[in-house]
Amino acid sequence: MCISCGCGMPHDKHNNPDLISMEDLQRAAKAANMSVDDAVKNMADSVGMKCNK
């Protein structure tokens, strides 16, 4: 879903480098030595969303 826009295409940035792709999320998780799931949970927690995982 280009992750940030919700289009359903997680690997496509639509020629806009400011959008977040799955590859960006994977790199960020790897840099923090954590799983993508944990990184997503931390991101949701950071903006006040509750993840049930």
User: Which segments of the chain have a pLDDT < 70?
Assistant: 1, 50-53
Determine the pLDDT at residue 4: 80
Cα 51–chain centre separation: 14
Tokens 């590859």 correspond to what residue? 23
What is the pTM for the complete model shown? 0.78
Q: Are 26 and 36 in contact (CB under 8 A)?
A: yes
Residue ranges per structural domain of the chain: 1-53
DSSP string covering the chain: -TBTT-SS-TT--TT-TTSB-HHHHHHHHHHTTS-HHHHHHHHHHHTT-----
pLDDT at position 49, please?
75
As a whole number of angstroms, the distance between CA 17 and CA 47 comes to: 22
